[in-house]
């Protein structure tokens, strides 16, 4: 009987050590290897054109950002993070084969979504935020829209500048009569 108790005690000690090692490996995976302190935002755009008056229309833009992770992240203006919505007019007189980049064209609207949120924007786990803006646009105009979220990592890049990560979504909208 005493021998059985000693074997059971040794077995429990071995299982306890295995549980501690297993918990340590799980913590290593979650907090270091899988990047639990990293951030991710799925940014999407939804647009709608509504009648306004004369030859003007309302371009309604929903910039949606979803945090798919199980951790919170925050954009902080003081740390030079940013969240912008930019609307640019695409030139109507380009020749065939012309390539337009997202940052080209006359700026129609340059909206600081982080500032509108109060200079801090917290994204809770699995939360989806919807920032809606309305812009007056002339009929016949084609616009390029980009929503860009940028966060500073706290490190410096190869050139000694603050390192940043960014996510963006873009769309092209033709404002019809």
Task: Give the tens place of pLDDT for each residue, 93-115.
Answer: 889 999 988 888 899 999 999 99
For range 147-152, the mean pLDDT:
92
If you search the block for the tokens 């920032």, which residue do you land on?
131
DSSP 79: G
Q: Which residues contact 121 (CB under 8 A, 6 or more apart)?
A: 74, 75, 83, 113, 114, 129
Structure confidence at residue 34 (pLDDT): 58
Cα 10 to the chain's mean position, in Å? 51
Q: What is the mean pLDDT of the chain?
A: 88
Buried b (16+ CB within 10 A) or exposed e, 76-93: ebeeebbbbbbbbbbeee
d(CA 46, CA 86): 14
d(CA 29, CA 31): 6
Which range has highest mean pLDDT (3-7, 9-13, 72-76)? 72-76
Q: Is 82 left (phi over 0), alpha (psi -120 to 50) or beta?
A: beta
For range 116-128, the mean pLDDT:
91
pLDDT (tens digit per residue) in 9-47: 888 888 888 888 888 877 776 666 655 557 788 999 999
Structure confidence at residue 35 (pLDDT): 58
- Environment class of 167 (CB within 10 Å of its CB; exposed 0-12, middle 13-18, buried 19+): middle
Lookup: tokens for 149: 């979220």
d(CA 143, CA 137): 9
Predicted confidence band of residue 72 (pLDDT cuts 50, 70, 90): confident
Lookup: tokens for 71: 């951790």
pTM for this entry: 0.76
């Amino acid at each position: 009987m005493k021998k059985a108790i000693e074997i059971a005690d040794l077995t429990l000690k071995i299982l306890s050590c295995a549980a501690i090692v297993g918990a340590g490996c799980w913590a290593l995976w979650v907090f270091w290897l899988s990047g639990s302190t990293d951030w991710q935002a799925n940014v999407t755009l939804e647009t709608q054109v509504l009648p306004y008056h004369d030859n003007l229309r309302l371009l309604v833009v929903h910039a949606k950002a979803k945090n798919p992770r199980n951790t919170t992240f925050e954009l902080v203006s003081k740390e030079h993070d940013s969240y912008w919505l930019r609307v640019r007019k695409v030139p109507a007189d380009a020749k065939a084969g012309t390539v337009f980049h997202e940052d080209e064209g006359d700026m129609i609207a340059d909206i600081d979504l982080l500032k509108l949120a109060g200079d801090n924007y917290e994204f809770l786990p699995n939360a989806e935020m919807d920032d809606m803006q309305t812009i007056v646009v002339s009929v016949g105009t084609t616009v390029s829209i980009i929503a860009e979220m940028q966060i500073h990592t706290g490190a410096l890049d190869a050139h000694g500048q603050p390192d940043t990560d960014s996510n963006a979504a873009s769309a092209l909208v033709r404002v019809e009569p």
